[in-house]
Amino acid sequence: MTSYGDARPSGCTPFEEELMNAMNDYANASEAPGFDAPGIVRRTRRRRAVGIAAVATALILAGGGTALATSAAGGSKAAPSSSVAKSDAATMVYGFSDGGTVKIDFAGWYVGDAKNYMLKTQTKVGTITKKATPRCKPDSVIGVSPHAPKVVKKGDTVNFTVCAR
C-alpha cells in the first residue's frame, strides 16, 4: 500500500509517517479551547428570529409602498391593504424546531409575496380560494388556514383565502 493508492496510510513511507507525526504533534501541542454550546444555540435561535422578522418587515414595507402607489395613481377608488381588518384569521404562527414561535400577519399581503415568503419558511402552499369581500385589494390575503393560535411547522401545508377581483 502506498500514499498514491486508495488504501489507508498504514504501512506508508518514512516521509509520510513523519508527516503524520508532525501533524499529530502540532495538533496535540495546543490545548483545545472550550466552546459554549448554550451560547451557540442562543445565537442561532436569535439570528433565525431576526432573519425572519427582517424578511417579514421588508415584505410588509413593500406591501405598504405598493398600497401607497396604488392610492396615488388610482385616487379614491384605491383600496389600501391597511383597510383589511387585521385579525387572527390571516395570522400564521410559525414554530421553530427548538420550540420558539413567530407570528406572521398575512392580512393585505399580495398573494404572490405570501407564496414567496412561504418558501423561506419551508412550508407548503395548499389551496388558494378567492372570496368576494367588500373593501379589499384584489389578490390580497384575507385569511390563512391553519391560523393563529394553531402553530405551523416546516413542511406543513397552509391554505390561503384571497380577495376576489
Partner 1 sequence: VETDFHGFVAARSAALFRGALVLTGNRDAAEDLVQETLERACRKWRTISAKDAPDAYVRRIMVNLANDRWRRFRRTVPQPDGPERAASGDEYGQVDSRDQLVRALQQLPMRMRTVVVLRYFHDLSDIEIAADLDISPSTVRSQLARGIEKLRGQFPALSGPSPRQHTEGIR
CB of 107 within 8 A of CB of 124?
Answer: no
CA 137 – CA 11 distance, rounded (Å): 75
Query: CA-to-CA distance for 111 and 97, rounded, in angstroms?
Result: 26
Per-residue contact flags (x/-) with partner 1 for residues 62 to 101, judged by CB under 8 A = -----------------------------------xx---
Report in angstroms how near the CB of residue 146 gets to partner 1 at its nearest: 22
* Exposure on the CB side of residue 83, measured as CA atoms within 13 A: 15
Q: Which of residues 14-33 bind partner 1 (CB under 8 A)?
A: 14-16, 18-28, 30, 32-33
Smallest distance, partner 1 to C-beta of residue 93, A:
20
Element housing 99 (H / E):
none
Give the interface with partner 1 as residue ranges (CB under 8 A).
2-9, 13-16, 18-28, 30, 32-35, 37-38, 40-41, 43-44, 48, 97-98
